[in-house]
Structure 1
Amino acid sequence: MRKLIDKPQQPPVFQSKTVGSNKQHESAERHVTGKARYIDDLPEPAGLLHAAVSMSMAAKGKILSKDTTAIRNSEGVCDVITTDDIPGHVDIAPVFDGDPILADKQVLFHRQPWCAVLATSVNLARKAALKGTLEVESETPELDIHSAHLKQNFVRPTHAMQQGDYESAANAAEHLISGEVSIGGQEHMYLEGQIALAIPEEEDRITIYTSSQHPSEVQKLVAEVLDIKLHKVTVDMRRMGGGFGGKETQAAQWACIAAVLAMRNQRPVKLRVPRMQDMMLTGKRHPFDNSFTVATDDNGLIKATQARINGLCGHSADLSEAIVDRAMFHCDNAYYLADADIVGYRCRTDTVSHTAFRGFGGPQGMVLAEAMIEAIARKTGEDPLTIRQRNLYGGEGRNTTQYGMTIEHFNLPDLIEKLVQSSDYWQRREDIKQFNQNNLVLKKGLSLTPVKFGISFTAKHLNQAGALVHVYTDGSVQVNHGGTEMGQGLHTKIQQIAANEFGLDTDFIEVTATRTDKVPNTSPTAASSGTDINGKAVQNACLVIKQRLAEFWAEQQSGASEEVQFRDGVVSLGEAKIPFPDLVQLAYMNRVSLSSTGFYKTPKIHYDRNTGKGRPFFYFANGASVSEVTVDTLTGEYKVDRVDILHDVGASLNPAIDIGQIEGGFIQGMGWLTTEELLWDEQGRLLSNNAATYKIPAIGDTPAIFNVDLYPHPNEEDSIYHSKAVGEPPLMLAMSVWCALKDAVSSLTDYKVDPKLDPPATAEKVLKAIQQLPEEAFTCEVLGR
């Protein structure tokens, strides 16, 4: 079921048929035929050598000695490096210090790399890497988030947001409801693992091919570890085989190691991290331990909210400050928290440093919001949907967030009501109650959850983008921009934007690999902002060239440049018409510049961390989903029977790609909340370190009924063609699956008890939640109780 609910209101006027159409991904055919080149598919340069890393078997401790003799004597080995061999910076942390390129004086987590090996083949490098000896004075690792919190062991200072007077409002309320939710992390499990290829050039230059969401950061860090200027480093990134945040900061280490080895030996070097090592050596989605106390009236209307948000960050800050910030920003989800007291803690543990993952802390905050709503619903005896609708933002005095931003253009109430109708929510609720009464073992659950997700980097300076556009004399156009393509269709949308501006078919537009020597100082492709900021930058460059062409053509025709139109491959001024390629050739012969840079910076945004107030987001993307599940109360096993989604992407640039992103994001979120369980042992060793011990969703986990619709309301803010971001928000739609599982368990108590079911809600945890229900709460017989 893929259709638009209504016709868009005041849709943009387009110059071609490209924008808003269902155009397939620009590399789709290459993806399915295997012709799309990833870094491991590039032709190998002459003299290529291969790198691998040696890893610590201790999780924490002081390094006493490093012995690489056996490695150096191993077959095929050409070089071995430790931190003593790094010519420049050893610390390659993205923002705050604490991430050494290799273990230096301390071991910070189990399997931390401490030396790198260069050999004539991949296998020889990896075999040799096993032979090093690292002597460590081991210490007991800190692995528990609660212990870290009690010891005030934080990677960054504590941060708070306050609105109104929580204590007074809570004391005056009819009900106080408290709860806790422990939220598991998530492995990125990108199809293409971490990889880098470094090629030394003449005059101390180096070219880096890296699977990175942030080429400019790789450029900076490579220059720093080599102790050279940034202009000597060129980073090239055509496409990634998935990133999801795992390649925003943590792709840089492998590029830096490859670069050092390449420059030392003046040979090309490739470093490809094998899957199990990739899982052990790179950060995950942050696990969180959150708690709340919410004050309500008798109708379940929130009067005051207190939240304590604890992110498990690992051994260093990485991006944890901003990630916990975003969890705090989103602990309201779509609900007015009234007088609020929100505090976020960034807890340090002796594990791999956790990092960005689709949603960037927002999902962990939103799970807390939904946990509060579920608790209120069970306390009041109301359907959770009723409590959700009752507490949505809206109306005078109920439109300010806990960080002081006024909610404008809020379409969620209407979107939810449309989904309630299209999914037949209330009739299905009655049918499910009847089913549960008639079935002793199987119990069904149903839930509708909304999503309100802020769009922008919360670090203001990252909200900028550049572009470079060339028009060639045959009328073809080459576009380069600062965003990276990781399968999400960014280049396809950029292609459509450029085609629309010039009034051309997309066959005329080529989007080239992201390169630091074409567009400098770029922001990472993250925060769902890839199309928003890079699309605007490309549009800006196109408009400059169009203006030059329009002025030239108007001068030729003795007309006004503002009346020149570019549409369907033809440029017209009144009755005078000329094919676009002919105008371009004519302009070239008359020395009109056919190239331009473009730039964009997101307006309106600001945030003061000292006061916890501001407008960190340009706008919000909204959506809602309804999930129905069936639970086997004897085993805890379950299946997701049906999902209905209505999601707001503004005026869609490409409905087919947007729907694909929604479907994929939902399934990835469902995996995080249900099956993907990260496990460490008491020695700090990751146990879920391969595809056999870590369960991501498979095709069989896709709901049998999976309806995805777009809510076609153009963005009121001046985004690119009034579209909205679609990368991260759909992941949070999967909260409806988690809440539906809780609903099924709660049905055993006639919906009077809010069961303890921490995500990921594995079958074992579902069974445990059933077994932990108080005996007196059961309203039906359950086998095994």
Structure 2
Amino acid sequence: MNRHALPDLTAKAISGGVATDRRHDSAHKHVTGEAVYIDDMPEPAGTLHGCLGLSTVAHGAIVAMDLAAVRAAPGVVDVLTAGDIPGVNDISPSGRHDEPVLAEGKVQFLGQPVFAVIAETREQARRACKLAKIDYDELPAVLDVEGLDPLSDRLVAPGLTLKRGNAAEAISKAPRSISGKMRVGGQDHFYLEGHIALAVPGEDRDVTVHSSTQHPSEVQHMVAHALGVPSHAVTVEVRRMGGGFGGKETQSNQFAAIAAVAAKKLVRAVKIRPDRDDDMTATGKRHDFLIDYEVGFDDEGNILGVDYVYAARCGFSSDLSGPVTDRALFHCDNAYFYPAVKAVSAPLYTNTVSNTAFRGFGGPQGMVGAERVIDEVAFALGKDPLEIRKRNFYGVSERNVTPYHQTVEDNVVQRIVEELETACDYAGRRREIAAFNANSGIVKRGIALTPVKFGISFTATHFNQAGALVHVYTDGSVHLNHGGTEMGQGLYVKVAQVVAETFQIDIEQVKITATTTGKVPNTSATAASSGSDLNGMAAQNAAQQIKDRLVAFAAEKYEVPVEQVVFLPNRVRVGNQEIPFGDLVKQAYMARVQLSAAGFYKTPKIHWDREKGEGHPFYYFAYGAACSEVSVDTLTGEYVVERTDILHETGRSLNRAIDLGQVEGAFIQGMGWLTTEELVWDEKGRLRTHAPSTYKIPLASDRPKIFNVALADWSENAEPTIHKSKAVGEPPFMLGMSVLHALSDAVASVAGHRVCPRLDAPATPERVLMAVERLRAAAGT
């Protein structure tokens, strides 16, 4: 074999470009254990370990704190309190300065970090924490939003009002009206890798922090503030996370800041990895909501006016509760046009852990409220809820203005629903289910088909930007870095595919590297389903700059027009000759052509006036629909998901294999939120569901027995996004609503579908059973 043979220039396509079903770049490493997470990294010599001391009351003034026994415990090197923070004792992402690194003077929820033990081993730190003696002057604690007035009680952030038309008048004049209340529970992120930070001190004021975070730049800034140093002294690096789901957008700040403060003070590396129990107790979750609604409608099921109040349990600090509750209102319409609407958010203060971002960022809670209204109308009229859904869908050329006054320009919800309805034989199965229920006294079946319309963009306009750095080395290999973070969702491989496509080289030639604030600065969080949109465009911009330089160089060197320089798979045609990509790069280097570029992208068209409640906050919408069928044991409330069919659109998918995985995983996670994942606090404010033993995420056995998932092959983004693709991180999460409404349909059958079951979420077997008994009593059976 001739090891120096020229490459095969007859290759017809590159390996792993855009639209290739490429596996996740780290998939094989995840299952073999080769993937290196922070806790797998070799620890620097002398690494110390931290553990947080948590408050034991929900609200109270700290009267005395005796940490003498803690300091004297075996292996303890230091104990940090608020007084040891050299800079600002605050990590509030909202800028409201209401979230201390360590509690100072008072505690506001049970489980709030009050001190941090730094010891030689993790076990020593954990044992020492338990020796603290803290006296509190307990104060009254507000633990739930039930009973609070959303219009007058304390808010952690300003509420929002959206309105179009006169909702009160429309409801009062409507032939029919209904009002009600719905409780929508929260959700723990329950990532496989919990929170963790490893801080390594450097010379002068420098520190490097390895953090499991979705927002390296924010961690950088928070660590800098806590240390009292400029941001340039802090470098944050993230190769991968073992799950994020929004929980690592802001919640990583605390662990990184404490580790960095200890590392700089003790001049030794410090790692903090809390136990699962402490992690679940001390970190925020999806907001639970209490939704008040009133709807006016006619005898055909046309909604004429709606009035919503979304009250959220936000916890003791603002965190991201303002924008989360804003987005809940942005999705109180889901896929439906309201001729008149008023929607109000109330992010309420409670003495519980500060709730935070979670996949969908408030949007799912908003949509659940919309779907409850659809159910109410359907049951009041004795109609199939799907008929009511289709009757109220947004139109294409009219009936297409949202409650926040954005015109829906890309509406495909009717097509998605019609195609799914036909493919899954919704009408035929509904008839079969009715026949089954008529002959089954105990087990009842239900079916529901629900749509999703989800807005894509950060509602804080300035976050809709991204940067990337691309180097081409003289052998033709490429180094890629960008501001997006990898939490298992496949962002890294998608962006690498974009760069490979731009240069027309095999993806194996593109090196994926860890996200670091030292390469791409001032990045936005990998959130809002914008990772591929933003970072893909920024990386393409950087690669295109280099490509343009190569084209100009080749045209000049070989004396041909630039139009005759064409990039082909792993080679470049210049005039009537073809040159291997690596050879052209080497020639360009010898001619002193710059082979590195920083790319940038900002989302166009978006704007938002929060004071007016008007604007164009979303660049586009992503659509999908799911049909689920369930069986319910009416004697126990237990149920199984018999079948789910999904049709979701992702535009021109960058990687269908990755996107299908995202849709499947999102559905299961959404189903878990609405069925089994229940958060319970006791009367003292103690989280009782704080471990795998008490908090039930869906298991493999909980998945639908029949699970059909398809991407719409005709879908294409009307906007010039990266290769006309659409976001896929958050939108399919809401497909899980179909399971909640299938359960509602099954429960309703015990009373002949004459009464709305009003199932709260999560619809645990206990809640399902109580709903069954309630409807049986109402029906007199």
Residue 567 of structure 1: how far off its partner (Å): 2.0
- Residues 632-660 of structure 1 deviation map (CA, whole Å, 9 limit, x = unaligned): 01110000000000001000110011000
Q: How does 1:147-158 map to 2 (within 5 A)?
A: 147-149=147-149, 152-158=153-159
Cα displacement string for residues 459-482 of structure 1 (whole angstroms, at most 9, x for unaligned residues): 000000000000000000000000
State the match for 1:760 in structure 2. 762
1:137 aligns with 2:137: yes
CA distance in 1, matches of 2:127, 2:168: 61
Whether the 8 Å contact between 2:168 and 2:307 is mirrored in structure 1 is no
Count of aligned residue pairs for this structure pair: 767
CA distance in 1, matches of 2:149, 2:519: 45
Q: 1:3 aligns to what?
A: none
Answering whether residue 63 of structure 2 is matched by residue 72 of structure 1, we say no
Structure 1 distance, partners of 2:752, 2:724, is 45
Whole-Å separation in 1 of the counterparts to 2:269 and 2:25: 30
SS of residue matched to 2:159 = strand
Looking at structure 2, the residues matched to 621 and 638 of structure 1 have their Cα atoms a distance apart, in angstroms, of 30
| Secondary structure of the structure 2 residue equivalent to 1:51 | strand
Distance 2:18 2:434 in 1: 45
Q: Distance in 2 between matches of 1:103 and 1:742?
A: 44
Q: Is the 8 A contact 2:142 2:351 kept in 1?
A: yes
2:215–2:526 Cα contact (<8 Å) kept: yes
Aligned to 1:653: 654
Q: Tell me if the contact between 1:15 and 1:566 (Cα under 8 Å) persists in the aligned partners.
A: no
- Shift, 1:159, TM fit: 1.5
Q: CA deviation at 1:750?
A: 1.8
Counterpart check, 1:107 vs 2:107: yes
Q: SS state of the match for residue 149, structure 1? A: coil
CA deviations over 1:183-216 (Å, ceiling 9, x no partner): 0000000000100000001122100000000000
In 1, Cα distance between equivalents of 2:708 and 2:244: 26
Superposed displacement of residue 29, structure 1: 1.2
* 1:251-307 deviation line (CA, Å, top 9, x unaligned): 010000000000000000000011000000000100000011111111001111111
Q: What CA distance in whole angstroms lies between the structure 1 residues aligned with 2:564 and 2:540?
A: 19
Q: Indicate conservation of the 8 Å contact 1:674/1:738, yes or no.
A: yes
The superposition leaves residues 510-555 of structure 1 with CA deviations (integer Å, 9 ceiling, x where unpaired) of 1100000100000000000000000000000000000000000111
Q: CA deviation at 1:15?
A: 7.6
Specify the SS of the correspondent of 1:156.
coil
Equivalence for 2:729: 727
Aligned to 2:588: 587
1:45 partner SS = coil
Deviates more, 1:272-281 or 1:125-134: 125-134
Shift of 1:158: 2.4
SS at match of 2:100: coil
Correspondence 1:739 to 2:741: yes
Say if 1:52 and 1:116, in contact at 8 Å, map to a contact too.
yes
The CA distance in 1 between the partners of 2:700 and 2:449, in whole Å, is: 23
C-alpha contact 2:647 2:709 (8 A) present in aligned 1: yes
Once the 2 structures are TM-superposed, how far is the Cα of residue 774 of structure 1 from its aligned partner?
5.5
Residues 776/368 of structure 1: CA separation in 2 closer, same or farther (3 Å cut): closer
Aligned to 1:4: none
| 1:395 CA displacement | 4.2
CA deviations 1:691-747 (Å, max 9, x no partner) are: 011000001001110000001211001110000000011110000000000000111
Asked whether the equivalents of residues 14 and 506 of structure 2 are also in contact (C-alpha less than 8 Å), the reply is: no
The residue aligned with 2:6 is none
How far has the Cα of 1:311 moved from its partner? 1.1
- Deviating above 2 A after TM superposition, structure 1's stretches of 4 or more consecutive aligned residues are 13-17, 146-151, 774-778
Equivalence for 1:8: none
Paired amino acid for 1:35: E
Aligned to 1:320: 321
Letter in 2 for 1:86: I
Alpha-carbon shift at residue 573 of structure 1 (Å): 2.8
1:10 — aligned with what?
A: none
For the 8 Å contact 1:57–1:110, the answer to whether it is kept is: yes
Q: Where does 1:228-247 land on structure 2 (aligned, <5 Å)? A: 228-247=229-248
- Partner Cα distance (1:632, 1:774) in 2: 14
2:21 alignment partner in structure 1? 22
* 2:358 alignment partner, SS class: coil
Indicate how the Cα distance of structure 1 residues 14 and 138 shifts in structure 2: closer, same or farther if over 3 A, else same: farther
Cα distance change of structure 1 residues 396 and 722 upon mapping to structure 2, 3 Å threshold: closer
Residues 37-59 of structure 1 deviation map (CA, whole Å, 9 limit, x = unaligned): 00000011011111111111111
Kindly indicate whether the alpha-carbon contact (under 8 Å) linking 1:403 and 1:612 is maintained by their aligned counterparts in 2.
yes
Contact 1:148–1:349 at 8 Å: present in 2 too? Answer: no
Residues 16 and 567 of structure 1 are in contact (CA less than 8 Å); yes or no, is this contact kept in structure 2? Answer: no
Alpha-carbon distance in 1 for matches of 2:657, 2:245: 20
Cα displacement string for residues 552-603 of structure 1 (whole angstroms, at most 9, x for unaligned residues): 0111222222442212101113322100000000000000000000000000
1:132-531 equivalences under 5 Å are 132-149=132-149, 152-531=153-532
Tell me if structure 2 keeps the 8 A contact 1:16–1:503: no
Is residue 39 from structure 1 mapped to residue 51 from structure 2 by the alignment?
A: no
Q: Percent identity?
A: 53
Q: Separation in 1 of the partners of 2:174 and 2:396?
A: 21
Partner of 1:663: 664
In structure 1, what is the equivalent of residue 60 of structure 2? Answer: 61
2:277 counterpart SS class: helix
Asked if 2 retains the 8 angstrom alpha-carbon contact of 1:148 and 1:348, the reply is no
Distance 1:16 1:47 in 2: 45
Q: Is the 8 A contact 1:178 1:291 kept in 2?
A: yes
For 2:8, the equivalent position in structure 1 comes to none
User: RMSD over aligned Cα, in angstroms?
Assistant: 1.2
Q: Secondary structure at the match of 1:768?
A: helix
What's the offset of the Cα at 1:396? 4.2
1:257 and 1:299 mapped to 2: Cα distance? 60
CA distance in 2, matches of 1:340, 1:14: 52
TM normalised by structure 1 equals 0.97
1:81 alignment partner in structure 2: 80
Q: Which runs of 5+ in 1 are unaligned?
A: 1-12, 779-784
Letter in 1 for 2:409: E
The letter for the 1-side match of 2:435 is: Q
Give how far 1:434 is off.
0.3
SS in 2 for 1:80: strand
**Other-structure match for 1:569:** 570
Alignment of 1:532-551 (within 5 A): 532-551=533-552
Is the contact between residue 15 and residue 501 of structure 1 (CA under 8 Å) also seen in structure 2? Answer: no
C-alpha separation in 1, matches of 2:622 and 2:149: 33
Q: Provide the rounded CA distance (Å) in 2 between the counterparts of 1:690 and 1:564.
A: 60
C-alpha contact (below 8 Å) 2:14/2:570 kept by paired residues: no
2 CA distance for matches of 1:173 and 1:149?
A: 27
CA contact (8 A) 1:16 1:500 kept: no
Residues of 2 paired with 1:307 and 1:182: CA distance? 13
Aligned-partner residue type, residue 236 of structure 2: V
| Partner amino acid, structure 1, of 2:60 | G
Partner of 2:116: 116
Shift in Å, 1:111: 1.6
Deviates more, 1:415-424 or 1:173-182: 173-182
Q: Which secondary structure does the structure 2 equivalent of 1:483 belong to?
A: coil
The 1:719/1:395 distance shift into structure 2, 3 A limit, reads closer
CA distance in 2, matches of 1:331, 1:575: 59
Q: Is the 8 A contact 2:466 2:523 kept in 1?
A: yes
Which blocks of at least 5 consecutive residues in structure 2 are unaligned? 1-11
Query: What residue identity is the alignment partner of 2:122?
Result: V
How far apart in 2 are the matches of 1:463 and 1:156?
22
Q: Please, what TM-score do these two structures have when normalized by structure 2?
A: 0.97
2:97 aligned residue: 97
Distance in 1, Cα, partners of 2:525 & 2:583: 38
Residue 453 of structure 1 and its aligned partner are, at CA, apart by: 0.3
Residues 641-688 of structure 1: CA deviation (Å, up to 9, x unaligned): 000000010001100110000000000000000000000000000000
* Residue equivalent to 1:782: none
Range with greater deviation from structure 2 (572-581 or 208-217): 572-581
Q: CA deviation at 1:16?
A: 6.8
**Over residues 432-473 of structure 1, what are the superposed CA-to-partner deviations in whole Å (9 max), with x where a residue is unaligned?**
000000111010000000000000000000000000000000
Contact 2:668 2:736 in 1 (8 A): yes
